[in-house]
Amino acid sequence: MEAEQIWRYVDAERAALAEVLAGLTEAEWSAPSVCPGWTVREVAAHVISSPQARVLPVLGGMVRARGDFNRFVFEEARRAGARCSGEEIVAQYSRFAGSRRRPLGTTVVDPLLDVLVHTQDIVLPLGRSHEMPVEAAVVAADRVWRKSFPFRARQRLAGVRLVASDIDWSVGAGDEIRGPVAGLLLLLTGRRPERLTGTGIERLQVPR
């Protein structure tokens, strides 16, 4: 998929997430997300942090986190969530609509992956729904499968074959896990298996 088409998906998915966020109650903003230890507010702030990332603050944050990337991301999300109200976070989605900025060292697919997966991290525990675009999910799933950090998908899912039921896409070898590519993307990124079937389910090393 061409870079500009990927950015159009990013724009559309951020706008859709902003629409969901604009309708949340204060209790929902403070509710736990799918990400362990992260509230909905913190995940929402993290998603729109991508076009705001600058080299020096990122380096400073990594120093404070002692080089631990996951700790850095978590601490930055908590800081942003504590600093901004829900309305302010939603306003950031409008302010950075159409932005093509992304953190140094990332590809154009990473902001897409971020918004696709984290939107589900927000809507699922709130009992809401947002349909993930199938073609965009394939691009993101390919990215997760190819890169080892931070998801280690090929290692975690060794011995299983993932097969999409809604588009011609598959990876891996072994016992089959089948389902919508959106569900497979969530599985690849360490989320619980949702709407997935197959003999490979028993081999999963993810939370059940």
Taking only the tens place, the pLDDT of each residue in 51-93 is 886 644 554 455 565 555 666 677 777 787 778 899 999 999 9
Task: State the pLDDT at residue 76.
Answer: 76
- Confidence at 208, pLDDT banded by 50, 70, 90: very low
Burial of 134 from C-beta contacts in 10 A (0-12 / 13-18 / 19+): middle
The H or E element containing residue 113 is: helix 109-123
pLDDT 10s digits, 140-150: 999 999 998 88
Q: Which residues pair with 179 in a beta bridge?
A: 164
The tens digit of pLDDT for each residue in 104-114 reads 778 999 999 99
pLDDT of residue 204: 80
Domains of the chain by start residue, with CATH: 3-123 (1.20.120.450), 134-203 (3.30.1050)
Q: Rounded to an integer, what distance in angstroms lies between the CA atom of residue 97 and that of residue 56?
A: 23
pLDDT at 199 over 80: yes
Contact between residue 189 and residue 180 where contact means Cβ atoms under 8 Å apart: no
Task: List, for residues 158-197, the tens digit of each pLDDT value.
Answer: 999 999 999 999 999 999 999 999 999 999 999 988 899 9
pLDDT at 64: 66
Mean pLDDT (whole number) for 115-135 = 97
Determine the pLDDT at residue 68: 58
pLDDT value at position 57?
57
The band of 203, judged by pLDDT with boundaries at 50, 70 and 90, is: confident
